[in-house]
Amino acid sequence: MDLQKGRPLNTEGRLDKEIRVYDLLDKLGIEYERVDHEPAETMEACEEIDKALYPAVICKNLLLCNRQQDRFYLLMIKEDKKFKTKEISQQINSARLSFASAEFMEKFLDITPGSVSVMGLMNDTENNVQLLVDEEVIDAEYVGCHPCINTSSLRLKTEDVFGKFLDAVHHDYKTVVLKGED
């Protein structure tokens, strides 16, 4: 699994939403490295990708919604932490959080289950999704994410994602505190 600098030279067979991620990152002057892989569906496959992206913090990305399904949140947490509804709900004053359906992933972020990523916010032009970020992710030098498809993974500077990228896609974020695994 080789780490490549920037976008793929040959984009044949790649989805438009993936190419749009590379186009935006390039337009913003954000440097990134990329590794292409089979869909990561096992922990062993994820471990290999994690090694290739090291020292990037690899995140679990969860699309959440309230009970009424009128408020949506993209939660980025370190892979070694567990999502606890009560812990997050208290911090954002939103009771009854649950996982949003694949329908909402597609509608707001143009992504499918297994491909949830902060990069999907570029498709949320009406700001339907609020970004929530584990404080330890913000403190890392690099972050890893998918380019809206789970057959590639990116390593980007954290300051670029939470600065240039979010500014360009007109989103902000709220830092949350999550405990590690017990």
- pLDDT at position 39 is 87
> Phi/psi at 141 (nearest 5 deg)?
-75, -40
| pLDDT above 60: residue 148 | yes
| pLDDT above 70: residue 42 | no
Average pLDDT over residues 58-67: 92
- pLDDT at position 142 is 97
How far apart (Å, rounded) are the C-alpha atoms in residues 116 and 74?
9
The tokens of 11 are what? 């984009």
CA Rg value for the chain? 15
**Where exactly are the structural domains of the chain?**
4-176
CA atoms in the 13 A half-sphere facing the CB of 35: 22
Task: For domain 4-176, give the CATH superfamily.
Answer: YbaK/aminoacyl-tRNA synthetase-associated domain (3.90.960.10)
Mean per-residue pLDDT of the chain = 92
- pLDDT at position 181 is 57
For the entire predicted model, the pTM comes to 0.93
For residue 155, list its beta bridge partners.
33, 144
- pLDDT at position 76 is 95
Encode burial over 91-117: b for 16+ CB neighbours within 10 A, e otherwise: ebebeebeebeeebbeebbbbeeebbb
pLDDT tens digits, residue range 68-125?
Answer: 999 999 999 988 888 888 889 989 998 789 999 999 999 999 999 889 999 999 999 9
